[in-house]
């Protein structure tokens, strides 16, 4: 049976979310083909005789692209059973089924994908019998990356000295032990996480190093959900490949609570840590249930710097509770902590996403701001009580898109945002000095974000 797995978008990474299901489906006797819409088009010759087309939606942006692509997939392959799987599939189940999707899967999806093809072989493909969300422990296999584009075509690591490295991408765990209210992992995993055996991770790293990887990006929602497991992974990688560097995503809370591990991470090749700081307003952090404070943010910066690891903070800069004063406070905080060069400018434009299932929807504070669910946005629209804040968000988003297209530096982009924020408040922006900008850090060529507006090219590229 021919199965086509499609990745709409995943921050320029060769997707584990296609490679792991590909291994399971190949073992089940399927002929698996992969299409990555970040690098390829929907190829009619690949789709026309497919029995199953399964689209992977790990991110909000990916889901919006998938929704736009589904009519084209159905037109090319009307005979195919259409499945959408991944983190954002269950929360958009109603919309997806309305578009003709027959199977919707989230969580540990691999057994369900195999069950689906076995049902189709038996002639029963009418009604989904697999659970929409499966959180059972599964047997992980070495991901099968043979049908994916080569690593050299994906995002690369940019070094401060102008050098670059080919990047591999893998996962050491799925899900998350924490329940941050705005996080898309929580509605599916509900505070659970699943470790991927070290030998499977190592086999995946090994095959990517053989394919040219010089740096590994770990895609776990939080690499230190299982600190002992994480240590085993990085020490195994370093023992076999001492020249390989890596990055990981770690909560501010975990950076502080496991500060004793930072020297070990540095010694095993960790170049930078991505941390979802989200805000420097303690009230907003409490509403988001982040379990850290603005002061904790500064503490984490000091700890990582002392260990020689760069911290790359991410933010949800615009929320219903954001004020102009609060946004300027965020910019000032980045200057105080010498972090301007450490923050992708898109992070200063991110607007809070409220998808179906978000824990934030239970807060009375949120109900006062939201409108009816918008299927185009895949979320509940909201307006800030101060219209100037919403206008500022649009201005920052437009400027970031324009300036990145012009290849401006992070400090040049920041300077303009600084001016826009103060102009929105009706005051002159203080002059910026070089102090506070910080030094460039290692970073991936495609910045981390999950809920920005898809580009026209992304929506039309298939």
Q: How many domains does the chain have?
A: 2
Stated length of the chain = 462
How confident is residue 460, by pLDDT bands cut at 50, 70 and 90?
Answer: low
Give the largest Cα separation in the chain, rounded: 71
Same domain, yes or no: 123 and 270:
no
Same domain, yes or no: 34 and 115:
yes
Report how far apart, in Å, the C-alpha atoms of 446 and of each of 69, 95, 97, 163, 347 are: 22, 29, 32, 16, 12
Measured CA to CA, the distance from residue 110 to residue 248 in angstroms comes to 24
pTM of this prediction?
0.95
Give residue 433's pLDDT: 78
Measured CA to CA, the distance from residue 400 to residue 408 in angstroms comes to 9
Q: Other C-beta atoms within 10 Å of 256: how many?
A: 15
Same domain, yes or no: 410 and 300:
yes
CATH number at residue 320: 3.80.30.20
Q: Mean of the pLDDT values across residues 44-58?
A: 96
Question: Is residue 150 a part of any domain in this protein?
Answer: no
Same domain, yes or no: 294 and 391:
yes
Question: Is residue 450 a part of any domain in this protein?
Answer: no
Q: Mean of the pLDDT values across residues 426-438?
A: 86
Give residue 101's pLDDT: 97
Q: What is the DSSP string of 95-156?
A: HHHHTT--EEEEES-HHHHHHHHHHHHTT--SS--S-SEE-S---------TTSPPGGGS-E
Q: Other C-beta atoms within 10 Å of 392: how many?
A: 24
CATH number at residue 107: 3.40.50.280
44-58, 135-149, 196-210, 422-436: least confident range: 422-436
Give pLDDT tens digits for 66-93. 999 999 999 999 999 999 999 999 999 9
Residue 367 scores a pLDDT above 90: no
Give residue 41's pLDDT: 93
Give the distance, in angstroms, between the CA of residue 458 and the centroid of all CA atoms in the same chain: 16
| % of the chain residues with pLDDT over 70 | 96
Q: Which residues lie across from 2 on neighbouring strands?
A: 31
Same domain, yes or no: 245 and 342:
yes
Give residue 447's pLDDT: 76
Q: Mean of the pLDDT values across residues 22-43?
A: 96
Q: Mean of the pLDDT values across residues 343-356?
A: 95
Same domain, yes or no: 90 and 168:
no
Same domain, yes or no: 214 and 274:
yes
Q: Mean of the pLDDT values across residues 448-460?
A: 54
Same domain, yes or no: 203 and 68:
no
Same domain, yes or no: 124 and 58:
yes
Same domain, yes or no: 117 and 246:
no
Question: Is residue 461 a part of any domain in this protein?
Answer: no
Give residue 127's pLDDT: 86
Question: Is residue 337 a part of any domain in this protein?
Answer: yes
Measured CA to CA, the distance from residue 324 to residue 346 in angstroms comes to 18
**Residue 272, C-beta contacts closer than 8 angstroms, at least 6 positions apart:** 247, 309, 310, 311, 312, 441, 442, 443
Give which of 215, 198, 187, 344 is closest to 277, Cα–Cα.
344
Question: Is residue 142 a part of any domain in this protein?
Answer: no
End-to-end alpha carbon distance in the chain: 24
279 contacts 181 by C-beta, under 8 angstroms: no
Question: Is residue 247 a part of any domain in this protein?
Answer: yes
99: containing domain: 2-134
Report how far apart, in Å, the C-alpha atoms of 316 and of each of 321, 350, 460 are: 11, 5, 27
Same domain, yes or no: 365 and 249:
yes
Question: Is residue 392 a part of any domain in this protein?
Answer: yes
3-state SS, residue 215: strand
Same domain, yes or no: 64 and 164:
no
Q: Pick the last residue of a domain from 101, 134, 167.
A: 134
Question: Is residue 44 a part of any domain in this protein?
Answer: yes
């Amino acid at each position: 049976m021919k199965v086509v797995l499609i990745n709409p978008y995943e921050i320029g990474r060769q997707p584990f979310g296609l490679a792991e299901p590909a291994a399971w489906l190949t073992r089940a006797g399927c002929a698996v083909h992969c299409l990555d819409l970040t690098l390829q088009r929907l190829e009619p010759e690949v789709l026309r005789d497919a029995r199953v087309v399964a689209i992977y939606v790990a991110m909000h942006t990916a889901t919006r692209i998938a929704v736009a692509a589904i009519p084209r997939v159905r037109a090319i392959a009307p005979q195919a059973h259409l499945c959408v799987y991944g983190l954002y599939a269950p929360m958009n189940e109603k919309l997806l089924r309305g578009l003709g999707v027959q199977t919707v899967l989230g969580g540990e999806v691999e057994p369900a994908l195999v069950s689906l093809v076995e049902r189709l072989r038996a002639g029963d493909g009418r009604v989904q019998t697999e659970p929409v969300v499966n959180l059972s422990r599964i047997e992980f296999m070495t991901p099968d990356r043979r049908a994916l584009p080569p690593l050299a075509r994906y995002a690369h690591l940019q070094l401060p000295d102008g050098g670059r490295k080919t990047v591999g991408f893998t996962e050491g765990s799925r899900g998350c032990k924490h329940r941050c209210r705005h996080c898309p992992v929580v509605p599916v995993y509900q505070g659970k996480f699943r470790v991927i055996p070290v030998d499977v991770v190592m086999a995946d790293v090994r095959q990517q190093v053989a394919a040219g990887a010089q740096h590994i990006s770990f895609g776990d929602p939080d690499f230190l959900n299982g600190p002992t497991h994480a240590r085993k992974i990085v020490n195994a990688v370093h023992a076999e490949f001492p020249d390989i560097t890596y990055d990981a995503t770690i909560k501010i809370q975990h950076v502080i609570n496991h500060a004793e591990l930072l020297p070990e991470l540095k010694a095993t090749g960790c170049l930078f840590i991505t941390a979802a700081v989200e805000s420097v307003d303690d009230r907003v952090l409490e509403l988001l249930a982040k379990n850290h404070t603005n002061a904790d943010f500064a503490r984490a910066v000091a700890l990582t710097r002392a260990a020689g690891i760069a911290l790359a903070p991410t933010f949800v800069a615009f929320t219903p509770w954001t004020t102009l004063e609060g946004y300027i406070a965020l910019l000032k905080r980045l200057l105080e902590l010498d972090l301007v060069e450490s923050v992708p400018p898109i992070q200063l434009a991110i607007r809070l996403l409220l998808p179906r299932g978000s824990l934030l929807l239970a807060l009375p504070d949120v109900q006062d701001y939201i409108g009816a669910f918008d299927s185009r946005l895949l979320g509940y629209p909201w307006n800030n009580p101060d219209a100037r804040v919403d206008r500022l968000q649009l201005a920052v988003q437009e400027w970031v898109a324009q300036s990145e297209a012009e290849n401006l530096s992070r400090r040049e982009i920041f300077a303009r945002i600084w001016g826009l924020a103060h102009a929105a408040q009706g005051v002159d922006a203080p002059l910026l000095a070089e102090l506070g900008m910080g030094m460039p850090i290692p970073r991936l060529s495609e910045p981390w974000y999950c809920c920005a507006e898809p580009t026209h090219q992304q929506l039309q590229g298939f």
